[in-house]
Structure 1
């Protein structure tokens, strides 16, 4: 009876362990074949889907549970081996074969678990590396996009400055054209005045006499002022 109960317990632990390792192995395959990179979070914090999505646990919890099941399976296998050492009940070949089979399964399950855990670690590290690379690329693109936007803004400012310069030059050209028109009008008026003066007899002589008298009056006034200043200076020195 003790053998049957212990054997049943070992098979139950083995069945649970097989289910956990199967889900864990599927997770490793999904992580290795996934094209979307994981975030830069630690590997132990990655959430895992186990048992066809019926339960969602993190990696550390799943691995701890598998290790606990391995320890239970090893303990059950050792207890079965101890039952075979009873001298009052010699073991049968079936029992010896069962114990040997449990030992082989334990070694195989441990090897599968450690291999899957190593593969998962490598897959998560690769995804994290790809995530960092993608972040660097996005940051580089964003930086250059900002620089391009700044260049476009600067180009817009330069275009506005060029437009203002063009408007100023247009105004200057218009002013120059207006000055030339006024110069032409003044030149025409001066020509007409000269023609008028030439047509009136003696007008030019009268203007010349007026100009000479004005210069004479200017000289006389200057002499008077000079004499007055000289007299004032002489009186001031006495």
Structure 2
């Protein structure tokens, strides 16, 4: 097999492989834009870098093969035929088209990645805001619950104080009733004491009179 045939076959193989990889690389942009996933979490950034490196290496190899074909076409010792020149020219055109397509696709992929990163950042900011708002609501709810609990405790203390006042009022009312009864009973006791004193005074007078009479009779009897 001649050198031209070998280079020609290698170019055809690399062109086919490059076209497949470039198509996969182009699909990555639409996948990233459509899914709007977190690039780091989903692994899109890593897949993009690996695929881009692979496509870039294929393009470099294809360029090297085209350079070898160009050198072969300019060999004065073994000038190529017209069909070979047309094939070499065709490989060069395909290589140039692939280079342009790769640069364009690379720009589109980078734009898609930038947009996905921006959307991911915005989504993270929104999630952070939601989390902060949720924390604020939870804190506010805890504060309200604490206020309700404090209010319930104050009401319970107020009810207990009112009950104590009620019991004290009942006790004082009973004491007042007993004192009123005692006070109402005192005039009768005073009357009783007065009657006792009057009777004792009368008894003393009677006894005095009897004693005096007895003394008089005794003196009369003696003299």
Q: Which has the larger radius of gyration?
A: 2
- Measure how far apart 1:105 and its partner are: 0.8
**In the alignment, is residue 37 of structure 1 matched against residue 26 of structure 2?**
no
1:3-152 superposed matches below 5 A: 3-39=4-40, 46-48=45-47, 59-87=48-76, 90-152=79-141
How many angstroms apart in 2 are the aligned matches of 1:197 and 1:204? 10
Please tell me whether the aligned partners of residues 37 and 128 of structure 1 are also in contact (alpha carbons under 8 angstroms).
yes
Q: Which SS does the other structure have where 1:47 is aligned?
A: helix
The aligned residue for residue 171 of structure 1 is 160
Please tell me whether the aligned partners of residues 77 and 99 of structure 1 are also in contact (alpha carbons under 8 angstroms).
yes
- Measure how far apart 1:38 and its partner are: 2.0
- Measure how far apart 1:4 and its partner are: 2.1
Deviations 1:75-125 (A, max 9, x none): 222322333334465544322321221121111101111111111111112
How many angstroms apart in 2 are the aligned matches of 1:184 and 1:170? 21
Deviations 1:117-139 (A, max 9, x none): 11111111211222222222222
How many angstroms apart in 2 are the aligned matches of 1:121 and 1:35? 14
Please tell me whether the aligned partners of residues 40 and 132 of structure 1 are also in contact (alpha carbons under 8 angstroms).
no
1:134-213 superposed matches below 5 A: 134-202=123-191
Q: TM-score, normalising length from structure 2?
A: 0.74
Consecutive unaligned residues of structure 2, counting only runs of 5 or more, are 195-223
Q: Return the structure number with greater relative CO, CA threshold 8 A, min gap 6.
A: 2
Q: Which SS does the other structure have where 1:160 is aligned?
A: helix
Question: RMSD of aligned C-alpha atoms?
Answer: 2.7
- Measure how far apart 1:11 and its partner are: 1.4
How many angstroms apart in 2 are the aligned matches of 1:152 and 1:204? 77
Number of residues of Structure 1 aligned to a counterpart in Structure 2 = 194
Tell me whether 108-117 or 5-14 shows the greater mean CA deviation.
5-14
